[in-house]
Amino acid sequence: MAQTEGSGMNRRVGIEAAPRWAARQVALAATLLALLLGVALCPAPALASLTNNNYDGNIYALYAGNGSLVPPRSTLEKALADQRAAVVIYYLDDDASSKQFAPVVSELQRLWGNNIELIPLTTDPLQNRADQGPSDPAHYWHGRIPQVVVFDPQGQVVLDAEGQVGLGAINAAVSQATGINIPEEFLTSTTVSINELNAEVVNR
């Protein structure tokens, strides 16, 4: 009789445990389904590269390690009004040439610091709008990027060049605009690629 009662008790325990087991199985299945849906619905990771025209974010932070360049601390109008030498860089975040030029812009800030106003400007706001005159960056932009324009304190253009302008040429123009002599080695710097994301300027 005791054996029969024990067998009945084991059956009751098995019956009570069945709903808990089923609930765990349902929870596990729901978790797996959620994970699979998450993987399926997530977009593929963006592949940042110096050689494509994809938007990867702030090119100065990503490719030159210097996100502080954007937004610039001054405007061209203010620099001209304060009679400060200025360097305006026209660029786009989704342009391979601008990405490759980003380390040069960062190096200009390192070399010249507070001696100039360094003004990197994305050209999106400049497109298809009227030129407002000599204090307007649109007045100097040719429609191509990157473009570098160096101004002396009187607002005269010392250098206006497009493409991968050499750091040496820009340094020479800034030296002329500011009247500050620079070490000879800064006149022969070049950009070298470190990896697929980053490049740096080195002296040659």
Is the pLDDT higher at 202 or at 63? 63
Same domain, 114 and 83: yes
In-domain check, residue 106: yes
- pLDDT at 194 (0 to 100): 46
Buried b (16+ CB within 10 A) or exposed e, 26-52: eeeeeeeeeeeeeeeeeeeeeebebee
Residue range of the domain that includes 72: 59-203
* Two tokens, residue 146: 């990157």
- Residue 119: pLDDT above 70? yes
In-domain check, residue 50: no
| φ and ψ of 117, to 5 deg | -100, 115
Residue 196 identity: E
- Residue 5: pLDDT above 90? no
Same domain, 66 and 4: no
Same domain, 108 and 133: yes
- Residue 185: pLDDT above 70? no
- pLDDT at 171 (0 to 100): 95
Same domain, 136 and 166: yes
pTM assigned to the model = 0.70
> Which range among 3-7, 14-18, 165-169 has the greatest average pLDDT?
165-169
Same domain, 121 and 187: yes
Percent helix, strand and coil across the chain, each rounded to 5? Answer: 50, 15, 35
- Residue 187: pLDDT above 80? no
In-domain check, residue 115: yes
Same domain, 175 and 104: yes
CATH code of 97's domain? 3.40.30.10
* Domain count across the chain: 2
